[in-house]
Every structure is written in C-alpha cells, then in structure tokens.
Amino acid sequence: MSAFIITDLEYRYAAASVPALQGININLAKGQCLGLIGPNGSGKSTLLSILSGLLTPTSGTVFFSQNDNLTLAKYVQKNVALVPQEYAFYPQLSVTQNLEYFVSLCAFSYAESQTRVETVSHQCQLQEVSNQKAKFLSGGYKRRLNLAIALLKDPQILYLDEPTVGVDPISRGSILSLLSALKNQGKTIVYTSHLLTEVQDICDQIVMLKLGKASYLSLDQGQKCLTIEFAHTLSVSWVEQFSGLSIKVECKDNHLKAYIKSSAELFAMMALLSQSQLDILNMHYDQTSLTQYYLNHMENNDITEY
Amino acid sequence: MILQSIKKEFILVFSDLHSVAVLLLMPVIFMLIMTFAMSERQDDMIHNLAVEFKTNNEDEQALFGRYLAGFGYQLNSEMPEASASLVLGSNLKQQLFSSQNIPLIQIEFGSATSPAIQALLNQHVQLAFARLKLHLYMLDTGEMDETLPLDKQMAQINQQTDTSQYIKVAKDNLELPVVTYSVPSWLVFGVYFIVLPISLTLLNEVQNGTLIRLKTFPVNLQHYFLVKLLAFYLFSIGQFLFLSLIGWRLIPLLIDLPAVPYKQLWELLCTVLVVSLAAVSFASIIAALVRSFEQAIVLGGGVNIIMAALSGFMVPLDIMPQSLQQIAQFSPMYWSAQLVKGTMYGQFNHEHWMSIIYLTVFAAISLTISALLFSRRIKDLSWN
C-alpha cells in the first residue's frame, strides 16, 4: 500500500521563468525509505515543502493514503513529522524541557505525554543528557534531540533533511540504526542527504533531482559493476557483442564498465573476455556505488533513467 | 500547552542576560539616576551656581547684590567661567525711579546653563529689583527708619514682600513630585522594551526552523502566537510590579524621600493590566514585522526611544513647544505614564479613565494588526 503518490507534480515560484519542479512522479510504499538526492538548488527543499503542505503545487497532485479524509494540512499535522537540517529546538531549555514543551503541542493526555517523552528519550538514547541544556550538547546529541522531537507525535511519515550533518561516526551509526528500526516498525521515511553512502544504505527508492527534474533509481542490491582496464583501446565491433547478452556496458578508450545483475551474466561476460584474449591491466568487481551513478548522472546534461 | 509555553518563554527570557538587563536593570538604573538628578533642592542648585557680579561700587548696586545673595547665590566680582554674568548699570537709584524703560542690568548666561536655571535667575533678579525699589522708596518716604542697621532694614523689606503664606500646596504634592516625575516615565519606558525579547525569540524560531516544525504539529500557529503573547503579558505584569516596588518604595528611601504607598489597589491593578497589555500588543506588531536581529534592535529600540522623547520622558513636556505637546497626546507611552502617575497619587480622574480607554483601544488595534502580519508571515514559510 502506498504511503503517498505524487503525480505530474509541477511547482513554479512567483516570477520565476522556469519551474522549480516539473514532471515529478513518485509512488512510495508504506514502510519504505525514499532518498532524495541532488545538488543544492535542485528542488529537494521545494519538494519537501510541498509534501509538508507548506507550498501548494502549481499543477499535479500529492495523494496521501488515509482513511480519515483529512485535508493535506491536517493529515500532515497528524501523521507527518519534520527533522530540519537546523537544530529546530530551544538551546536554552534542557533536553527534557524541550521534549515536554513539544509534546505539549500534541493532543496527548498528560500520562500519554509522559510516556511519549520517556519512549522517545529511550529510542534516541537521550536519557543520560536529559537534564543538560540543549546548547551544551555535543553535535551528535543535538541531532538525536532534533530527531526525538519529530518522533514525539509518533508520526507515520518522517521527513529528514540531512540528519547526520556534522556528526561523528558513532553517533551517525546510532542515528542510522534508529532509522532502520523505525522503517522496520512500518514508518515511511523521506531522506535527503549529500552523503550518498548513507542514502544507499537505508533507502529503498532514490530520486535524483537536477534542475527540478527527477530521475528514478531503484537500487538493485544484487547489481554489481565489473570495471576493466585493457592494454589497448577497444573496438566498437567487440563492444557490440554485449548487446546480445543484455548487459549494460559503458566503454571509453581502454576502459569498460559492465553492470552485472546475476552470476549467469558474470559467467557469460568472463567467457567473452576469455575468447577475446585481450590484455587486461586491471580489473575490479564491486557493488555499484550510488556515488558512481550520481556523478555520471550529474555530469550528463540529459536526464537518464537507470 | 499554555503552561508549557509560559514556562518556555520565561526560561528563554531569564536565560538571556541581555533581555533581563534591558527589561529589569536598565529601567531601574534610569529611575535611580533621573530621580537622584532631579532630587537636588532648589537651594542647593542656586548655591552651586557660579555667578559673576560686576558693579561700580555704588551703594544701591551693593544693596541689590545683597538682596540677590539673599536667595542663596554666591556672587563674585571676577569669574571667567561663570554660569551667569550680571553687569549692573550706574546711577541705579535714579534709573529705578525714572519713567524711561532703560535696562538696568545685562545678564549673560554660560552655554552650559540650563533654561530652567536661566528662568530661575531671571525671576530672582526681578524680585531683587522689586525689593531694592521698595527699600529705596520707603527710605525716601520715611517709612523705613534709616538709622536701623542695614540687615534689619532688609529683613523688614523681605518680610513685607513675603507671599508664601498665601499659597497652600497639598502635602502629597510636596513630597512626591520628584518621584512622580521620573519613576512613571522610566518604568513605562522599561515595560515597553518587552519588544526586544518578543521579537528576538520569534526571530530565533523562524531562523532555526522551529516555526516550520511547529506548522506540522497539531497546533494552530495563530493560537501559538497568542499564547506566546500571553506568556510575555504575564512577564510584563511581573516586570511592572517589580519596577514599581523599586521605584515607589526603594528609590525614594535612597534619596531621603518618603516611600510612595500603594494607595488604591484596584487602580494599581487596572494600570498594570492596561499598560502591560498595550506594551505587549505594540511589541507584537514589531515582532511580526522584523526579519532580522538588526531590524528588531533598531526598530524596536528606536521606536521606543522616539516615542519616549515625544512623550516628555527625556525633556519635560511643559517646556516643549505646543505642537510637540499635542503630539504627545497621541502617544501610548504618554497615556501609560499619566496612568502610572495617577496611581501613585491614588486618585484617578477623567484623564486617567480616558487613558485606560485609549490604551485598551490601542491594544486591540495593535493585536489585530500583528495577527494579520503574523498570518502573512507563516503563510510564506517554506523549507529552506
């Protein structure tokens, strides 16, 4: 079942000559994690603002699966939580005071509020700093508090904007583990980050935005990349052999990259190499990295779908 | 939510030392300095004034000098940096009784001499001339025994021209004027500075993304804004009471004046509620308007200082030109200060009731404007 469906979405800022977003189509299943990546100014924040009900699309629709027939703003208030990149809390208040204040804005009873504060403190491992003023916390704890406040209302959908910026590897690990645990509990997550390895680790779907247009990447965890450096430049006729194997290859001078989806494809590829008797200088066989996709995509001016 | 919001705003204000200094310390310092500065007795002011007095050693000139010195002035024949210089003409007796209006004295004031001191010296010179003229007249007509020692003659003249017994000033007015002039003004000035913490906390919430986050919480942001103002309203009431305690009870004691009693508690209550409401409402407009900390400080502080100047806090209203006095009649700070003065005297009159009405209407209009401005502001919020 879908958490939300975005259809032909376009957004144009007043007086802007080109749309900030156009032709966006996303269908995100409940309990999945969507990674939003792209350079600064590519439209990620605009898309998050629309999903949060802060902006109204110029055209297209955003549909949240729900039984309550709520308006977008009401649905967001009830089921969606934001974790901004900034520390969106009160530095002069202690961790507990921050949590108590934000939980008081939710429609919980006093007892429920207390339970939510305790649960979230435990989830985000904030108990040991509960009485410290937020401004004196380390970067990692500040990030956890930022996340904890979002979790107070027990949201079904969570938007996170670079939630691990400026965080040490241990704290980053604990934040990512928490997000994985939330996903396992059925929470839907929209995650934006420039740290592509993180996105690759926790996201099920990835949308790359460039100048307001989207490319959709469904990362097949089994797909790997065979990178070979030959002694000589490869001939076009030799490379064309791969079209018969339906293996996607990229070739430039004496370098070849082949995207392998199964063992059978790997064996077929090795057989061809063996027959060709070309001199091989170097060879890697590795998980395809999102960084590779990202760089390839951003270097090309056209929009390609993988 | 309301209690948590109030608790949050109080913690935010008290953890910001600058806000505490502006709201509590600055008005106390102003009240103390201004009350102390104005508490100097007229006698002391005159005694400390350096007056140069130039004569030709005529008897009448010397007698004029003695009458003037009788007000407490220290007269010196040579004083290069005098506050005032008096040069008497010659043939004083002849000129005094002449029908021609020839100036008998030339007065030059130093650049640092205040208009109030100038007016006082002018008044005393005229009185000294009047006494001298009467003295010479009585000697001429034989009503004054010229064999009496000069001191006794002068005492007789002073007694005959003394009119103080015809004037009765209310006891309260004699004891309170210094306190009622400076304390209400600077108390109100401090209360209106609530604009700074309101603006700064709201700006912080906008800039660190808290307001966007709150927009996705199940809370109406207009309601949130009103609760925020309620918290500051309660703070403002506490601030008013604290400043009144300092200004009415402690400061008078420090300068050897009687403390001002809290006379009518219901008048005090009305004043606190209305003045704080007006201050917070006015502050809410600035808070909803400003987009940066610099704007908040310049606009919030600047508007308050200009309004205080126009309301007669810095220069007494009664020595301002008529046009400026009329402008003051439209200033919420002026209405507020008038109300506080009325509360100190413990007697509300028609003017005070009008001030309450003006301030309440002003607060209602300000709150409506700020609610509209805030609505526009939250409508423009988006994820950055």
> What was the ipTM of the complex prediction?
0.74
Identify the domain boundary among B146, B167, B188.
Answer: B167
Give the pLDDT of chain B (384 residues) as one tens digit per residue: 788 889 999 999 898 888 899 999 999 999 888 887 777 666 677 777 888 888 777 788 889 999 999 888 888 877 777 788 888 888 888 888 887 778 888 888 888 888 878 888 999 999 999 999 999 999 989 888 889 999 999 999 998 888 888 887 666 555 566 777 788 999 999 999 999 999 999 999 988 888 888 888 888 888 899 999 999 999 999 999 999 999 988 988 887 777 887 778 888 999 999 999 999 999 999 999 999 989 999 998 999 999 999 988 887 787 788 888 888 889 999 999 999 988 887 778 888 899 999 999 999 999 999 999 999 888 877 766
Residues B251 and B325 in one domain: yes
Q: Which residues of B touch A78 (CB under 8 A)?
A: 218
- Write down all domains in chain A, each with its CATH number in brackets: 2-217 (3.40.50.300), 224-287 (3.30.70)
B-contacting residues in A 138-157 (Cβ below 8 Å): 149-150, 153
Closest CA in chain A for residue B201: A90
DSSP A129: G
> B181: domain range?
2-39+172-379
Average confidence (pLDDT) over A7-13:
92
Same domain, B285 and B138: no
What is the Cα gyration radius of chain B? Answer: 29
**Is B364 a domain residue?**
yes
Please answer whether residues B147 and B200 qualify as being in contact, where contact means their C-beta atoms are separated by less than 8 angstroms: no
Residue of B nearest to A82 (CA): B213
Helix/strand/coil for A81: strand
pLDDT in tens, A246-296: 777 888 888 888 888 777 888 888 888 888 888 899 988 876 667 777 777
H helices then E strands: how many in chain A? Answer: 10, 13
Same domain, B337 and B274: yes
Domain boundary among B167, B190, B210: B167
- Tell me which residues of chain B have a C-beta less than 8 Å from any C-beta of chain A: 1, 3-5, 7-8, 11-12, 15-16, 207-210, 212-219, 224, 381-384
**How far lies B307's CA from each of B28, B143, B186, B311, B329, in Å?**
19, 59, 12, 6, 11
Q: Tell me: do B289 and B147 sit in the same domain.
A: no
Q: In this structure, is residue B282 part of a structural domain?
A: yes
- Is B349 found in the same domain as B230? yes
pLDDT band at A218 (very low <50, low <70, confident <90, very high): low
pLDDT at A220 over 70: no
* Among candidate residues B105, B137, B167, the one where a domain is terminated: B167
Q: Could you give the C-alpha distances from B98 to A239, B68, B123, B136, in angstroms and in order?
A: 129, 22, 22, 13
Q: Are residues B107 and B163 in the same domain?
A: yes
Please give the distance of CA B46 from its chain centroid, rounded to a whole number.
Answer: 22
Chain B residues lying within 8 Å of A45, measured CB to CB: 382-384
d(CA B280, CA B233): 6
Convert the pLDDT of each residue in A149-171 to its tens digit.
999 999 999 999 888 888 888 88
Q: Do A52 and B212 touch (CB under 8 A)?
A: yes
B330 within some domain: yes
Q: Are residues B183 and B324 in the same domain?
A: yes
Residue B247 tokens, joined:
């200004």
Residue with the two structure tokens 């204040």? A101
In a domain, B345, yes or no: yes
Compute the distance between CA of residue A51 and CA of residue A65 in angstroms, rounded to an integer.
13
Dihedral, CA of residue A230, residue A233, residue A235 and residue A236, to nearest 10: 100
Residue B203 lies in a domain: yes
Q: How many domains does chain B have?
A: 2
Q: Is B63 in the same domain as B129? A: yes
Kindly state whether residue B384 falls inside one of the protein's structural domains.
Answer: no
**Same domain assignment for residues B265 and B337:** yes
- Residue B217 and residue A150: Cβ atoms within 8 Å? no
Whether B14 is in a domain gets the answer yes
pLDDT at A73 over 70: yes
Q: In what order do the strands lie in the sheet with B105-109?
A: B74-76, B50-54, B84-88, B105-109
User: Residue B35 is which amino acid?
Assistant: T
Quote the pLDDT of residue A150. 94
* Helices and strands of chain B, counted as H and E runs: 20, 4
Are residues B116 and B11 both part of a single domain? no
- Check whether residue B217 and residue B72 sit in a common domain: no
A280 touches chain B (CB under 8 A): no
Q: Are residues B70 and B16 in the same domain?
A: no
B384 CB neighbours in chain A (<8 A) are 45
Q: Report if residue B16 sits inside a domain.
A: yes
pLDDT for the residue B28: 92
Q: Do A102 and B209 touch (CB under 8 A)?
A: no
Residues in chain A closer than 8 A to B208 (CB atoms): 84, 86-89
A6 or B177, higher pLDDT: A6
Q: Using CA atoms, how far apart are residues A204 and A186, in angstroms rounded to an integer?
A: 13
Question: Are residues A101 and B16, on separate chains, in Cβ contact within 8 Å?
Answer: no
Report yes or no: A76 at the B interface, CB cutoff 8 Å. yes
